[in-house]
Amino acid sequence: MASIFCYWLAWYLTSPVRKLRTASQQLASGDLKTRVVPELGRRTDEIADLGKDFDMMAERIETLLSSQGRLLRDISHELRSPLARLNVAVELVRQRSGKEADEALDRIEREAERMNTLIGQLRTLTLLESGTEIMDKKTIDLSGLVRNISGDAEFESAKRNITVSTELDDNIIIEGSEELLRRAIENILRNAVRYTAEGSEIKISLKRHVSEGKEYALLMVRDHGPGVHENELSNLFTPFYRIAESRDRKSGGMGIGLAITDRAVRLHKGTVRAFNASEGGLVVEIKLPLSL
């Protein structure tokens, strides 16, 4: 009887702790709707108070992140109109001015296009973050998609004498959004082209991979750049995060591209991670299930 009582007491004391731990993991993985008080029942002890504090924290985090998403969405929407008017104004000035103004007007157009691209990335990120992005699923030849994107990357990197080598399994078919997957892979390849050493090589591989009885597509992109400090690897896919040594305003972007990659891959029930190669350079790995 004593053993049974001790077992019941241990279960009674540890059960809410296990529920709190599960809720914490769900919140950390991005499920902002997670709440723990309904799981604790009618408890009125200190653990119940801890559960209430947890729910207040989760609600506050959800409110803050939702407000951030709305702010980014509103900003990206409001900036589109003045940018469009700016482009019209540039064309009017170009028609009325001489050739001596062409250089300055070309610079204005380039900067306006850069801002327009950034606004588009912000809009995509907010849609993916809020979950309102509707994925138009269809059958995709992932092998062909990666081959096409690799060809574009090779063309862009030719001016820096960078070669792009591919090792792709054929006929890897996946269900999902071709547009989102294209953006995800392009963002990784653009980063590789930007940071790899001049005259070096970018390696792209796409293989079938079996794990725990499930079949996956495993895409790996490896560059020969400076790599990333181990402490910063986990932050690469955080929106607006830029590494101080290389992702400055002159050579890098605004830290949105890889965040879009992460959200797009997760929408396809996949995973993405980055790690430093043993011989130097950075490797980005995407693993996608072949059936959603």
pLDDT at 49 over 70: yes
Q: How confident is the model at residue 271 (pLDDT cuts 50, 70, 90)?
A: very high
Q: Report DSSP state, residue 136.
A: -
Instruction: Return the higher-pLDDT residue of 94 and 242.
Output: 94
Decide which of 64 and 129 is more confident.
64
pTM score of the predicted model = 0.64
Query: With bands split at pLDDT 50, 70 and 90, how would you rate the model's confidence at 253?
Result: low
* Alpha helix ranges (H) inside the chain: 2-28, 37-40, 46-96, 102-130, 142-157, 178-195, 257-267
In the prediction, which pLDDT does 160 show?
86
- pLDDT tens, residue by residue, 196-222: 988 899 999 999 988 888 899 999 999
pLDDT confidence bin for 274, thresholds 50/70/90: very high
pLDDT for res 246 = 47
Residues labelled as active-site residues? 77
Residue 244 has pLDDT above 60, yes or no: no
What are the structural domains of the chain?
1-133 (1.10.287.130), 138-289 (3.30.565.10)
Q: Across the chain, what does the average pLDDT equal?
A: 82
* pLDDT value at residue 188: 92
Q: Can you tell me the distance from the alpha carbon of 268 to that of 135, in angstroms, rounded to the nearest whole number? A: 9
Q: Decide if pLDDT at 75 tops 50.
A: yes
- At 139-166, the pLDDT tens digits run 999 999 999 999 988 888 888 889 999 9
Select from 227, 222, 223 the least CA-distant residue to 245: 227
- Of 72-76, 228-232, 276-280, the poorest mean pLDDT is in 72-76
Q: How far is CA 14 from CA 8, 19, 40, in A?
A: 10, 9, 12
Residue 249: what pLDDT? 44
